[in-house]
Amino acid sequence: MTLAPNATSPISHIVTTSVDKNQPGRSAWKAVTTPFQAVSRPLSIALSVLVWGAVIGGWFALTYSGAVKEMFLPRPESVLFTTINMALDGSLWEHVLASVQVVLIGFVISSIVAVPLGLTMGTYRIVQAALDPLVNFIRYLPVTSFVPLFILWIGIGIEQRVAVIIFGIFFQQLVMIADSARSVQRDLVNAAYTLGTKRSDTVFHIVFPATLPNVLDVLRVTMGWAWTYLVVAELVAARSGLGYISLKAMRGFQVDVIFMAIAMIGILGLCTDQLFRGIRRLVAPWAN
């Protein structure tokens, strides 16, 4: 594919010419301190490994030096061994699966409603006028304060945890998706009209494809929030899941299990994040 010159090319051009002047030290410094200047792939990988190394190294240093008691901060390898043991006896997968299930059900139900409703809300002022005040009120209510109410209403089963996630992300999704629908260029819609698009087809033919990359970004971001609300729900009322084993581990002073649960959530979050980035590249290649 031949790409039209983009906005960054003039900058890279300047940097390349300064490299040619046999001033490698100065120009390399200039290159990395230039705002928005791209860095090479090896350098960016090296940097991320370095930061990770520093964090884990610091962890080793703190535990092995005895600066922090192992009761509060476990040694890195004991977290690793706990993870391996729990993976081998199957209990890890049971809890991971329980958590993933809750997050996915809550996320899917919320998204299935929020995407079309958000697009409609952003496109039709009358829908916006009707829903905006209510949605913006609910959006600021802390989800945690609803947990007791949900337990009272729907008990402590999986439905309760799913409800917490839906309540946590639905209104945020709605507002952000409506915003991106509202920002669709008007002349794009006008052009569609002059090409024979019916008014009733505008959401499907224009607003939806135009906002698709944004919608996927909203889903990606709110998926991260779903994991946060999962732990909130599981800490209060659950018999399985990563939040539940953290709470149980706290009672037994098993700090390594808490660490493992936190790390697992991080890894799962990273996976779903990458998944959404992959989907975006696949279904909206034009937006990259």
Partner 1 sequence: MDALTLATKPKSADIAIDNVALRYGKGDNAVLALDGISFHVVPNEFCVIVGPSGCGKSSLLYLIAGLEERTGGMISVGGKPVTEPGPDRGMVFQAYTLFPWLTVAQNVEYGPKRKSMPAAERRAIVEHFLHEVGLAKFANHYPSQLSGGMKQRVAIARALANDPQVLLMDEPFGALDSQTRHSMQKLLLRIWDHSKKTVLFVTHDIDEAILLADRVLVMSGRPGQIKKEIRVGFSRPRSMDLVMEPNFIAMKREILELLKNDEDEEH
Cβ-based nearer residue to partner 1, 155 or 285: 285
Please work out, in degrees rounded to the nearest 5, the angle formed at the alpha carbon of residue 38 by the alpha carbons of 34 and 41: 135
CB closer to partner 1, 39 vs 283: 283
Number of residues that bind partner 1 (CB under 8 A): 23
Interface residue with partner 1, options 77, 190, 250, 266 (CB under 8 A): 190
| Among positions 29, 137, 153, 193, the unique one binding partner 1 when judged by CB under 8 A | 193
Here the tokens at position 12 are: 């890279």
Q: Does 33 bind partner 1 (CB under 8 A)?
A: no
Q: Does 140 bind partner 1 (CB under 8 A)?
A: no
Query: Measured in Å, how far apart are the chain's first and last C-alpha atoms?
Result: 13
User: How far is the C-alpha of 178 from the C-alpha of 183, rounded, in Å?
Assistant: 9
Is 22 a residue that touches partner 1 (CB under 8 A)? no
Cα separation, 186 vs 12, whole angstroms: 34
Nearer to partner 1, 192 or 236 (CB): 192
Contact present, 181 and 114 (Cβ < 8 Å): no
In the complex with partner 1, which residue's Cβ is closer, 75 or 182?
A: 182
Residue 126, both tokens: 């009358």
Q: Determine if 194 is a binding residue for partner 1 (CB under 8 A).
A: yes
Alpha-carbon distance values, 156 to 123, 235, 242 (Å): 38, 11, 16
Stretch that binds partner 1, among 14-22, 47-55, 105-113, 192-200 (CB under 8 A): 192-200
Under the binding rule (CB under 8 A), the answer on residue 210 touching partner 1 is yes
- One symbol per residue from 169 to 188: x for binding partner 1 (CB under 8 A), - otherwise; what is it? ----------------x-xx
Residue 124 DSSP class = -
Query: Does the protein bind partner 1 through residue 286 (CB under 8 A)?
Result: yes
Q: Can you state the angle between helices 147-154 and 158-182, rounded to 10 degrees? A: 120
Which part of the chain contacts partner 1 (CB under 8 A), choosing from 92-100, 102-110, 139-147, 203-211?
203-211
* Per-residue H/E/C for 176-217: HHHHHHHCCCHHHHHHHHHCCCCHHHHHHHHHHHHHHHHHHH
Q: Which is nearer to partner 1, 160 or 214 (CB)?
A: 214
- Binding residues for partner 1, rule: CB under 8 A, are 1-4, 185, 187-188, 190-197, 206, 209-210, 212, 284-287
